[in-house]
Amino acid sequence: MWKAFRDHSVTFAVLLAFALLGVSVLGGLREGLRAMHVPWLFTLLVPGAVIAVLARKEREWIPDAAKRKQLARGIVGVAIVLAMLAAMTTRSLSRPAQESGEGAGQDSTTAPVRPRGPSGK
């Protein structure tokens, strides 16, 4: 795994980026194979083989090491920014709305008290 960091593997950067975004690439490949009714053993082995082939071929596709390094860092950087933006937007959507003009004159002590504890007895 650490060799992927030293070599600035674009394949590893893409997998890491998808993991940061919460997307399972291998799971997607497995689901696609299951949809094609491929036997279970191949659904376990084929995704790993595809990733291994892509990792080996990337030196042929992008021969310049500096360009590979820049591309890998860019992919991970964009994924981190997207993950942060997603976290900020979901956090702001899950917050309760601040009191606007509606109900501002209503006192919180006049609200009915919610019962606590087990119901019934």
pLDDT tens by residue, 56-89: 899 899 888 889 999 999 999 999 999 999 888 8
Total domains in the fold of the chain: 1
For residue 106, the model assigns a pLDDT of 53
Look at residue 24 and tell me if it is in a domain: yes
φ and ψ at residue 24, rounded to 5 degrees: -95, 105
**Residue 72 in domain:** yes
**Mean pLDDT (the chain, rounded):** 80
Q: Is residue 87 part of a domain?
A: yes
| Residue 99 pLDDT > 60 | no
Query: Does residue 112 form part of some domain?
Result: no
Q: Is residue 86 part of a domain?
A: yes
Is residue 41 assigned to a domain?
A: yes
Residue numbers of the domain that contains 78: 2-92
pLDDT at 78: 94
pLDDT at position 44: 83
Contact 73, 16 (CB under 8 A): no
pTM for the full predicted model: 0.62
- Domain assignment present for residue 61? The answer is yes
Residue 104 counted as domain residue: no
